[in-house]
Every structure is written in C-alpha cells, then in structure tokens.
Chain A
Amino acid sequence: MKSYHTKRIALKNQYLIGTLVITFIALSAHFLLDYTGYRVVALILLLAVSILAMLFDILPVLFTALSSALIWNFFFIPPVFNFHVGTPEDVLMFLMYFVVALINAVLTFKIREIEKKTSDEESKEKTIMLYNTLLNTLSHELRTPISAIIGSIDAIKDKESKISDTNKNELYAEIEIAAFRLNRQVENLLSMGKLEAGILKPNPDWNDMNEVIFSTIKNNKEEAANHTVIFEPDENLPVFKIDRGMVEQILQNLLRNALKHTPRNTIIKIGVENEGEDCLITVSDNGPGFPDKEVNLVFDKFFRLANPRTGGTGLGLSIVKGFTEALGGKVHLENLDKGGAKFTIRIPAEAASTDNYKQ
C-alpha cells in the first residue's frame, strides 16, 4: 500500500500539473484557433485528460476534467468569454465532452484499482509461500536436533538394553552436538528478529580485527575439522571503531556458510584490510562457487540453492546482509575466475594506527 503511494506524484502536484497542462493547451489552442476550429480543441483537451487519468488519482482527474470543460466553454465556445452556449449543437457538444471526460477518468481509475488489488494479492501469496518455506525449514532444522536429544536420552535411560559404554559416550556426544546446533539456530532467529523489528543498534568501539578474526576461527574449529581455514594477519593493520558483536556474527555466518556448502578439504581464506575509510573483510574459497543465476539471490531471506546438498534455514546470509547494512556497509558476492566464491564486506569504520601510541 505504502510503496504504491510513494511511487506516485504527490496529490498537490497532481492538481498543479493538471491545471498547467490544461492552461498550456488552452493557450496554444488560442493561437491556432484559426487553423483548427474550436471543436478540435475539445478533442485535444479530452486527450490530455485521458493521459492524465492514467497517471493521477481520481480527484485530481475529475478536477482537471471539470476545469478543462469550463475552460473550453468559457474561452472557445462562441460566444466566448462567458459560460453562455450559443447553439443547441454546442450545448450537446459541451455535455458530451463533460460526460466523456468523466467516464474516462472513472474507468481508468477503476482499472488501476483492479491492477493494484491483483498485485496486492500476489504479494500476499508470496508472503504465505515465504512463511511456508520458513516453517518447513525451521521445523526441520529445529526438530532434527530435538529428535537427536530425545532419542539419545531414551537409549541411555533404557535399562533393558545392554548399551556399551562406547555407544553411550557417542550418544552423549550426539546430545552435545544437537544442543549446540539448536543454540546456533536460536541465535540466528534472534538476530533475524532483531533485524526485522529494527531494534538493532550498533555499538561501535575500538577493536583489533586480527584478533576478532582469530577468535571467530577458534570458535568454529570443530566445524572446520575437514577444511583448511587460512588467515594471514597484517601486523600493521590499524584498530577499527566497529561493533564487535555484529562483525563477529557476520564473519561467523560467512565462515559457517563456506564450511557447510563446500566439499571437504576446501581452502577458505579470510582477509581484512583498511581501504579508504572502510574496513574491508573478505571470505573466499576454492570450492565450486555459486550457480551464476543465483548469485544475486543468496542474500534473500530463506533462500536456498535449487539443489542444496546440505541443510540450513537460509537465514545465515540474509543476516550477513542485514547486519552489514545496519553497520552502514555493503556486501558483495562474486564467483572467482579460478573457481570458488568470494564474499566482500565493506564497512565504514574509523581507523587508528597503533604506531601513534607507542611510548
């Protein structure tokens, strides 16, 4: 509804434009009157009203139709410069002009209403589809670990079964993995909720990005067991004034996304640099990259690749985009020529060189 109105010309301007167009036509027609005759002027005015009807709201169109009818009557129908109409033929012409202009305005308006209703319904259907996707992926992503926990507990508690200590320990490990997985999903959902509610307020403070990246890699060491994560810190990197918690989550989601969706032994490279007034973070890999036509879609909420090999809620990358934008930054994804994908996060951040403070 809102976007429908904001795209349109402001109501006040519609009245103004309508008046200007009619005045302009009337003035031009006045000088051409000798060539055209006053009845053709009516057709030109009618044409203008029809065109305006396609662009304007109903009231300005009615206003324009009415004023054009009066102007035509006043300035063009003999006797001119009064509202008196000379011949019965012209009375008929004037009435017809008036009715045609009104019908034109009303019909065009109705057609636009119907169009709007259809597009509203389409977007409503889209929302419902989005929620269905959400519910499907969520119930899968949440119920799988919950089932793992309940099932493992049942097996451990079952006194009848002769479960070996090794198996028991494996079940404990399953419970642990499931609980962490649940915790991650809840974290993502909470982040998404904060983004949607618009209550996310960055709290920038001075941070050593080398350390932030190292700690993120450390926190995801277990998930990265089958991959190689490379980060070569630049010792001369300045400290940045940046919201650490949000940057950590961006980095973590990018890293987990790469870990989850690339084959074993893929090399994931993380980089950070100071470029201009920005802090530039890159996460690239030498995996298969993204299908070209899906590169622009991956940041959409709940988006999943057409043929995903792995699970996921489709929330991770949309949080990356949301958080980056909340920090005033931009995210960019490209497929590399030599294979693999590269995410670039550019966040405007004040930088201070550490050299200036050495005593």
Chain B
Amino acid sequence: MSKAEILIIDDEPQIRKLLQISLESNDYKVVQASSGKEGLMLSANHPPDLILLDIGLPDKSGHAVLKELREWFNRPVIILSVQDNETDIVSSLDNGATDYLTKPFRTGELLARIRSAIRISQNVRNDIIVHCNDLEIDFVSRTVKRNDEVIKLTSTEYNLLSLFAKNEGRVLTHQFILREIWGVGHQTETQYLRVFVATLRKKIEDNPNNPVHIITQSGVGYRFQ
C-alpha cells in the first residue's frame, strides 16, 4: 500500500513543522498549506487521503473552508482547535468534520485519530462482527458478548452500542447520536442519552465510572474504543 497523504492547513509554521516531522516519521506523506485558500486549491488539484484543518485560520475561518471542502471532498477532515471552544468543535463536527483535536495535543493521540479516521473511511464497515478488546458485537444476530459471555441488552441499548461500534475511534456528537437512535425531534433530550449510556456502561464496562469503551468528550459527545 502506498503511503497515505495528509494535507495540513495551518497558519502557524511551528505547528506545521511539528506535524510534518511526526507524520513523516510515521510513514505518512505530508503536504502543507498556510492558508485556507491555498489549502482548498491544493486539495482540489490533488485530493489527499486526510486533511488536518486548523479552525482558527487568518484569511478564512476554518468553518468556511470545511463547508467548501465538504461540497466535493468526502475523505476525513480532522479539526485542530484550541481548548475551551466546545461550541466551535460541535458545529464543525455537525458541518462534516470527521474528528477533532484540541491544542495542545499529544502526538500519540493525533496518530490514533488519523489511523481510525482513515480506517473508517476506507472500510465502510461491512464487518459482520466487530471486536473491541473484551467486547464482541455481531451485527447479524444482534448479539453482544463480553469475555465470550452474552450480555442482555434492551433494543435501545443495542442500537446505541452498534452505532458506537460502527464508528469506533471516532467522536459522535450528542445531537448525532440522538438523531440516529431516537429520530429527528429528540435532539435536545441529552438526558435520555446520559441515562442510556450509564446503563450501557454498567453492562459492558468493568468500572462504569471509569469507562474504557465509551469515553465522554466533555461538552461534545462520546467516543467508542
């Protein structure tokens, strides 16, 4: 397999340099753009496998770049944002960003996000069975096993878990999950979501208060891993 190509759109040369070094030493090919305009041009000429997009660009807001990109670019876009800006993050996820990272982030985290985003985009999960550490989710028979023991789930709990499993490693916003599971019109009822996540955790986690599978992304949503 040839090297996956990643386009970095960020106006800070230091961040671009750092990303370039970490990505190239992990076998990715790196292309850089210092402005939104340049980024759009480069990605149109030669679409990369993934885009890392800084949301705070000087010429054009990252949101605008993301919107334009999403008119034709359907590969993963990971947003780089500063801390404390949950509304920014949620709105970019709702506008089609695949995932996000807040600065300052650790390189290990960046690589994990990139791997999972590329994997999800290349393999539009046709898996019949998903394995995730001690969990096994069988989409055909709609059964979930933990350490080879079948876990009894209500249908809502199962739907929730299978939505998570199909998007393993990727952050899902509260709104997205509510829409997928409960349908349009329930997007504000995060209370349901909390409760179902709590009961689901009691069934699939060793310590439901210190979860390893369903991770809360404060103010944004959940990530399954």
Verify if B219 is at the interface (C-beta below 8 Å from A).
yes
Q: Complex: how many Å from CA A218 to CA B194? A: 20
Chain B residue numbers with a CB within 8 Å of A359 are: 154, 156
Verify if A334 is at the interface (C-beta below 8 Å from B).
no
A239: contacting residue among B198, B207, B210, CB under 8 A: B198
Residue contact A208 to B194, C-beta cutoff 8 Å: yes
Contact with A along B175-200 (1 / 0, CB 8 A): 00000000000000011111111110
Chain A residue numbers with a CB within 8 Å of B192 are: 357
Q: Which one of A209-217, A297-305, A323-331 is at the interface?
A: A209-217
Verify if A278 is at the interface (C-beta below 8 Å from B).
no
For the residues of A in contact with B, the DSSP-based class is helix
Chain B residue numbers with a CB within 8 Å of A206 are: 190-191, 193-194
Range, interface on chain B = 20 to 34
In the complex, how many angstroms separate the beta carbon of B101 from the nearest chain A beta carbon? 15
Verify if B58 is at the interface (C-beta below 8 Å from A).
no
Verify if B83 is at the interface (C-beta below 8 Å from A).
yes
Q: Complex: how many Å from CA A358 to CA B208? A: 16
Given the known interface contacts A211-B216, A354-B195, the answer about A245 and B86 at a Cβ–Cβ threshold of 8 Å is: yes
In the complex, how many angstroms separate the beta carbon of A190 from the nearest chain B beta carbon? 7
Chain B residue numbers with a CB within 8 Å of A352 are: 191, 195
Q: Which residue from chain A places its CB closest to the CB of B106 in the assembled complex? A: A176
Residue contact B195 to A210, C-beta cutoff 8 Å: no
Verify if A256 is at the interface (C-beta below 8 Å from B).
no
Chain A residue numbers with a CB within 8 Å of B216 are: 211, 215
Contact with B along A224-257 (1 / 0, CB 8 A): 0000000001000001010011001000000000
Give the 7 A-B residue pairs with the shortest CB-CB distance, closest first. Answer: A206-B194, A206-B191, A357-B195, A214-B209, A359-B154, A210-B209, A239-B194
User: Can you give 15 contacting A-B residue pairs, CB < 8 Å?
Assistant: A187-B83, A203-B87, A203-B219, A208-B197, A208-B209, A211-B211, A211-B216, A214-B210, A215-B216, A233-B209, A245-B84, A245-B86, A352-B195, A359-B154, A359-B156
